[in-house]
């Protein structure tokens, strides 16, 4: 299988930018995802990027992919208290399974 | 929008009981998955199914079985629940071509 790693915790002040990082091991990964899990809820797809892209921007979210280093990041601009959640990185090689990281708990301090 | 529905939000069972967790999706997806989520471990795949009556073991299938008699429904079965199966269980589905995985809201199972 694939190893997907994330740091467990991140704290930022409201209004600052948050950067959540993820590394993976399989260079043939084709789709890379960011999911958000709010307390007591399932996972909600936030955004995704194909492996032939370096960057994708969607409103306050920016995804950066460095294929050479197998590094994926999610930047949240102007972080709000409603962004407090667990963020999961997930990657797939196109087969049926997705491999998930451990999740990063983002805490936004007012 | 895709809807993935898990039948119970919270479930409390006793050691040794047989437990059924049900999941239904309404988008005619071929692929369905059961994950468990534990703090610090992320999501771990228990079983998945890519078609009716087909199933494949994931990373941690021990102590679990699954059933896919109809395309829209994927059941996770704990034959004899144990305390180490206390966890959040997440069901997910995706179509054949579309690689996006859609999740249910989860079932928090406590085995006493």
- Candidates A7, A74, A4; CA nearest to A36 is A74
Pairwise CB contact (< 8 Å): B99 & A94: yes
Between B42, B59, B103, which is nearest A103 by CB? B42
Q: Is A92 on the interface with B (CB under 8 A)?
A: yes
Q: What DSSP designation does A34 have? A: E
Furthest-apart CA atoms within chain A: distance in Å: 42
Contacts of B1 in chain A (CB under 8 A): none
Residue B46 is encoded by which pair of tokens? Answer: 């228990």
Looking at the complex, report in whole angstroms how far the Cα of residue A33 sits from the nearest Cα belonging to chain B.
Answer: 8
Q: Is the pLDDT confidence value at B2 over 70? A: no
A81 by DSSP, 3-state: which? Answer: helix
pLDDT digits (tens, 9 = 90+) for A38-96: 987 889 999 999 888 999 999 999 999 999 999 999 999 999 999 999 999 999 876 66
């Amino acid at each position: 299988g694939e190893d997907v790693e994330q740091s467990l915790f991140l704290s930022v002040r409201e209004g600052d930018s948050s950067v959540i990082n993820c590394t993976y091991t399989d260079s043939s990964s084709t789709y890379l995802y960011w999911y958000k899990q709010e307390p007591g809820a399932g996972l909600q797809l936030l955004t995704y990027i194909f492996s032939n892209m370096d960057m994708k921007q969607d409103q306050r979210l920016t995804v950066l992919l460095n294929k050479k280093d197998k590094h994926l990041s999610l930047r949240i601009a102007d972080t709000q208290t409603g962004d407090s959640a667990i963020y999961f990185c997930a990657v797939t090689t196109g087969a049926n399974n997705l491999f998930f990281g451990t999740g990063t708990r983002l805490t936004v301090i007012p | 929008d895709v809807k993935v529905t898990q039948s119970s939000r919270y479930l409390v069972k006793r050691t040794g009981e047989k437990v059924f967790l049900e999941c239904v999706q309404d988008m005619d997806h071929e692929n369905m998955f059961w994950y468990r989520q534990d703090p610090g471990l992320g999501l771990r795949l228990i079983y998945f199914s890519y078609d009716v009556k087909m199933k494949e073991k994931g990373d941690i299938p021990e102590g679990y079985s699954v059933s896919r008699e109809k395309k829209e429904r994927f059941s996770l079965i704990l034959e004899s629940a144990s305390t180490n199966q206390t966890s959040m269980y997440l069901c997910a589905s995706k179509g054949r071509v579309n690689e996006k995985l859609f999740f249910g809201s989860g079932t928090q199972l406590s085995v006493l």
